[in-house]
Amino acid sequence: MEVVPAWAPALGFTLLPHAGGFLGSNITKREIPTWYETLQKPSWCPPNWVFAPVWGTLYTSMGYGSYLVWKELGGFNEKSVVPLGLYAGNLALNWAWTPIFFGAHKMGWGLVTLLLTTGTATATTASWYNINKTAAYLMVPYLAWLSLASALNYRIWKDNRNKK
């Protein structure tokens, strides 16, 4: 019987969030030059090149935080259902935003998705705090970025509502 190396769960949890980001990046790359560039954006919109490194950093941080929670609670069990379930729901919402906003060009529904993502990220962070404070703190930059992303999504939706 082969034993899983001690580092494997840490690596798996840390890389997991990148899976949805990687899949969504194909949609984003296709839509930036053909659709996104035509949209009116506020002066404070970050340049396009900023998004990939920011998301890469945030996905790594939250993924490692999920590993810390999983490890602290002794794996997948009754105690981990809520904190890791909230996290899983958050990841699903996070990954859904790209096909909604970029793929379907549904800016309003993208905003709804982002607000739900922010809510589940907040609930995840709160649930992690009493389990592993480091894990909760690793979510703080993600929460800050979601706030910026929500404001940006709102402005893009508001300023481009009549655009097909």
Question: Which pair of tokens denotes residue 62?
Answer: 């939250």
**Residues 106-129: what's their mean pLDDT?**
98
Instruction: With cut-offs at 50, 70 and 90, classify the pLDDT of residue 162.
Output: confident
101 near 107, Cβ under 8 Å?
Answer: yes
Per-domain boundaries in the chain: 51-163
Residue 80's pLDDT is what? Answer: 97
Minimal CA–CA distance to 24: which of 63, 51, 57? 51
Helix ranges (H only) for the chain are: 7-34, 48-72, 81-98, 107-129, 133-159
Q: What CA dihedral angle connects 105, 111, 113 and 118, to 10 degrees? A: 150
The top-level CATH class assigned to 51-163 is: mainly alpha
Sign of the Cα pseudo-torsion (148, 52, 69, 92, in order): positive
Question: Which pair of tokens denotes residue 68?
Answer: 């810390």
pLDDT at 2 exceeding the cut of 80: no
Instruction: With cut-offs at 50, 70 and 90, classify the pLDDT of residue 31.
Output: very high
pTM, to two decimals: 0.94
Residue 1's pLDDT is what? Answer: 64
Instruction: With cut-offs at 50, 70 and 90, classify the pLDDT of residue 4.
Output: confident
Whole-Å CA distances, 156 to 51, 86, 108: 16, 28, 9
Tens of pLDDT, residue by residue over 54-92, are 999 999 999 999 999 999 999 999 999 999 999 999 999
Tens of pLDDT, residue by residue over 40-50, are 999 999 999 99
